[in-house]
Amino acid sequence: MPRIKRRGLPKALCDHILLRIQERGITPEDLRLMAAWMDGEPTVPEGAWFKRFDTFILCGEGEWVKTVLTAKQTGIGKEVG
């Protein structure tokens, strides 16, 4: 199972994630929770996955984070802990 990549994201993907963070009102505290989870170098499935936090959902595919959703939206793929 892959581990999330925190470096080397393509610029377009990084820009997309930053835009979604801004549009969806993700707070600095939310980002700290996400970073703490990612610091644990979690393994994720090869395909689509999502991780629920209290106020948002982080979505990815394999080793790449792909987008951020609000807590009311629905993640696609396998839910990870």
Backbone angles phi, psi at 31, to 5 degrees: -65, -35
> What pLDDT digit, counting tens, does each position of 37-67 carry?
999 989 999 999 999 999 999 999 999 999 9
Give the tokens for residue 54.
């209290």
Q: Would you list the domain boundaries of the chain?
A: 11-73
Q: pLDDT (tens digit, 9 = 90+) per residue, 3-25? A: 998 888 899 999 999 999 999 99
User: Is the full-model pTM beyond 0.85?
Assistant: yes
- Average pLDDT across the chain, whole number: 94
Structure tokens at 46: 């090869």
What is the spatial distance between Cα 11 and Cα 13, in angstroms, rounded to a whole number? 5
